[in-house]
Amino acid sequence: MSRAWLIGAGPGDVELMTLKATRALGEADVVLVDDLVNPDVLQFARKDAQIVYVGKRGGQPSTSQAGIVNAMLAHLRAGRSVARLKGGDPFVFGRGGEEQQALAAAGIRVEIINGITAGIAAPATIGIPVTHRDHAQGVVFVTGHGAGSSEPDWHALVATRMTLIIYMGMRRLSEIATALLAAGMPGDTPCAAIESATRPEQRHVRATLDTLASGVAAAGLGSPAIVVIGGVATLGETPIAGGDTV
């Protein structure tokens, strides 16, 4: 059986990939690439490597998770080494844990190569630290993608008084803000939304919780984006206002 890797490509900027990730890409026979991966990182793949695009984007046609696992297994059983390339970090909202489990069930050991997750990298691009002794003693990463029974416990999250970093929340930003307000978070809580972080097309909006959704809508920001909620969002390059866009 050949080698398998789960590789985090980082938030977008090619220079934020790890040396270990570039080395593994250069060894793989097959590279299965997620939709959010910057295609420029494929410069580190072997010239004769087979590149397979298995994009997964919310609300858009996507390769099924079962299909991705089956493709990995088929290549591995044929004697080919496989690199599964994901945006950010494979174990932070990247289904890397599920893929590791599936490969383990088939008797295949996979090497995990971490990447810088967008939840840390995106705020940093505009000078926002996710923790700060004067503002937050911790940080919580949460997906905004769920609804109904899979909805996060917003009351519990508000009670932590920690920085909230929301992935995949742009389509439901108004609902999320309303839920946080209903859970007792003050309307003047500083926030930021960063689209396409670390890429040349990056844009962001700073606002307060009660103006965030309208500010993002007015600026036309969309996915992929990271939302930061908490006092740390006052820090960095641009001041808080009703909806400043940069």
Q: What is the mean pLDDT of each run of 10 residues along the chain (246 residues)?
A: 91 97 97 94 97 74 84 95 97 94 95 97 97 94 76 95 96 96 98 97 97 97 97 78 49
CA–CA dist 19, 235 (Å, integer): 31
133 and 104 housed in the same domain = no
Q: What is the pLDDT of residue 243?
A: 46
The number of folded domains in the chain is 2
Other CB atoms within 10 A of residue 158 CB: 20
Residue 178: strand, helix, or coil: helix
122 and 238 housed in the same domain = yes
Distance of CA 235 to the CA centre of its chain: 22
Structural domain ending residue among the three candidates 88, 113, 138: 113
Other CB atoms within 10 A of residue 51 CB: 14
Structural domain ending residue among the three candidates 67, 97, 113: 113
195 and 220 housed in the same domain = yes
Report the catalytic residues: 34, 56, 168
DSSP secondary structure of 63-131: --HHHHHHHHHHHHHTT--EEEEESB-TTSSSSHHHHHHHHHHTT---EEE----HHHHHHHHTT--S-
Residue 43: strand, helix, or coil: helix
184 and 92 housed in the same domain = no
Q: What is the pLDDT of residue 153?
A: 94
Q: What is the pLDDT of residue 145?
A: 77
143 and 236 housed in the same domain = yes
95 and 212 housed in the same domain = no
CATH code assigned at 173: 3.30.950.10
Closest CA to 136 of 106, 158, 114: 158
107 and 143 housed in the same domain = no
194 and 96 housed in the same domain = no
CATH code assigned at 106: 3.40.1010.10
Q: What is the pLDDT of residue 245?
A: 55
100 and 127 housed in the same domain = no
CA–CA dist 33, 194 (Å, integer): 23
Beta-strand pair 190-195/203-208: antiparallel
85 and 160 housed in the same domain = no
Question: Could you tell me the pTM of the whole model?
Answer: 0.90
133 and 239 housed in the same domain = yes
Contact criterion met (CB below 8 Å) for 195 and 204: yes
136 and 154 housed in the same domain = yes
Structural domain ending residue among the three candidates 113, 143, 171: 113
- The range of the structural domain enclosing residue 24 comes to 4-113
